[in-house]
Amino acid sequence: MKRVVVLGATGSIGTQTLDAVSQHPDDLKIVGLAAHSNADLLKEQAQKFGVSRLALFNEVSGSGIPHGMAALEDLACMAEADIVVISVAGVIGLLPTLAAIRAKKNIALASKEVLVAAGELVMPLVREAGVVMTPIDSEHSALFQCLQGYRSDQIAELIITASGGPFRGQKQAALKDVTVEQALNHPTWRMGGKITIDSATLMNKGLEAVEARWLFDVPIDQVNVVVHPQSVVHSMVKFLDGSVLGQMGWPNMRLPIAYALLYPERKPNDLKPWNPIDTPNLTFEAVDHETFPCLGLAKESSRIGGTMPCVMNAANEIAANAFLKGELSFLGIPNVVELTMQEHNPVQPTLDNVLQADEAARSRARALITGNQI
């Protein structure tokens, strides 16, 4: 029996995590739950799973639930926990992740931003503590599964697949007047607003590339992206001998979630298994980097290193949310990211430096947007 804490329990990944746990009552038990501010749903979940330890990031008047970053960190370190699911939005997940690792808790990671902003800090701690970090993202889960039994020095290339988002095949000029509703109309996945916008700009794949660089200990230029509209092949690994292994399945997050929690075991579930006869025409396309520059910006931030990936991520978060609020155009998102990166002088990514760079980048990105400098 693995005892599980879920940070971000009321979000898309969090609720699907609880669904996955329900499928395996003899193997998994929820012992702690945290949310951003949805106290009502959090209490419903706690009642359903018999959980008494709760936390909120934001204070909710009258909820009686401990709140703030310290409350999240306390939950991540609780003695009863074996594995902590990090599925909170943005860089909020960094401090609870570090706290959980220091407390020698295994991590099931859904928040890309933790490794994007601070992979250089986090992964050495993972190795030092001797804990296991299993990825929840379908693409990283696929790579993780394909790499079982192999070393990082045997990898020639990690190939992350992308659906292409709602604007696949369009040129930049056609995206000038994109609406929020159009950008949220993802062809394959149903996700939260910010991550859906990241998928539309392909920044999601840039963040995934940087995360993969740290998870699997390879240079960023060995991580590449191809467009695969059917979303059946979730990612592939090309080895030095030319062999390519891929992981396939229907696009459903419950499978990678269950794998991350149950690893190294595999257990039966009620999901429909993929059948190759049902998808006889799988296709792959090159990324249009001119139309979707965010992928290149993310990889460039990783090449530069230091605090630059943190700045790239923070600027993108501000820009994507500004687009969702109608304060920025769709094409303005990569412009905000690029300008914020250009103004940053990267330094060594200590925890203080990462947090300071994150705050400064958010402030600068907001100033660019409100000052109409895009």
Question: CATH number for the domain including 62?
Answer: 3.40.50.720
30/150 same-domain check: no
44/106 same-domain check: yes
Would you say 208 and 140 are in contact if contact means Cβ atoms under 8 Å apart? yes
72/160 same-domain check: no
- The residue among 102, 120, 136 that closes a domain is 136
Give the Å distances, CA to CA, from 277 to 273, 274, 280, 281, 282.
Answer: 12, 9, 6, 9, 11
236/326 same-domain check: no
159/87 same-domain check: no
Spatial distance between the Cα atoms of 10 and 357, rounded to a whole number of angstroms: 29
Residue numbers of the domain that contains 47? 2-136
281/341 same-domain check: no
- The arithmetic mean of pLDDT across residues 301-316, rounded, is 97
Spatial distance between the Cα atoms of 55 and 42, rounded to a whole number of angstroms: 9
Inter-helix orientation angle 39-49/12-23, to 10°: 10
Give the helix/strand (H/E) hosting 311.
Answer: helix 308-324
211/325 same-domain check: no
Tokens standing for residue 181: 């509703």
Is 32 within a domain? yes
Residue 98's pLDDT is 97
Is 346 within a domain? yes
Across the chain, mean pLDDT equals 95
157/289 same-domain check: yes
Residue 193's pLDDT is 82
- Could you tell me which residue, 372 or 283, shows the higher pLDDT? 283
Spatial distance between the Cα atoms of 90 and 112, rounded to a whole number of angstroms: 8
Share of the chain above pLDDT 70, in %: 98
Residue 190's pLDDT is 66
Could you give the number of structural domains in the chain?
3
Residue 194's pLDDT is 86
**Torsion angles phi and psi, residue 84, rounded to 5:** -115, 125
Would you say 142 and 268 are in contact if contact means Cβ atoms under 8 Å apart? no
Residue with tokens 């056609």: 174
Q: CB neighbours (10 Å) of residue 318? A: 25
- The residue among 118, 136, 154 that closes a domain is 136
120/190 same-domain check: no
234/105 same-domain check: no
Is 258 within a domain? no
148/199 same-domain check: yes
Strand 53-56 relative to strand 28-35, pairing: parallel
Is 263 within a domain? no
CATH of the domain at 355: 1.10.1740.10
- The arithmetic mean of pLDDT across residues 359-363, rounded, is 97
- The arithmetic mean of pLDDT across residues 358-368, rounded, is 97
Residue 282's pLDDT is 97
Peptide bond into 264 cis (omega under 30): yes
pLDDT digits (tens, 9 = 90+) for 290-302: 999 999 999 999 9
151/288 same-domain check: yes
- The residue among 86, 115, 136 that closes a domain is 136
Residue 186's pLDDT is 75
Is 299 within a domain? no
pTM of the model: 0.94
Is 255 within a domain? no
Q: 189: pLDDT confidence band, cut at 50, 70 and 90?
A: low
Q: 32: pLDDT confidence band, cut at 50, 70 and 90?
A: very high
Residue 90's pLDDT is 76
Is 165 within a domain? yes
Residue 104's pLDDT is 98
pLDDT digits (tens, 9 = 90+) for 249-278: 999 999 999 999 999 999 998 889 999 999
Q: Which of 313, 284, 365 is nearest to 209 (CA)?
A: 313
pLDDT digits (tens, 9 = 90+) for 169-179: 999 999 999 99
pLDDT digits (tens, 9 = 90+) for 106-163: 999 999 889 999 999 999 999 999 999 999 999 999 999 999 999 999 999 999 999 9
Would you say 66 and 74 are in contact if contact means Cβ atoms under 8 Å apart? yes
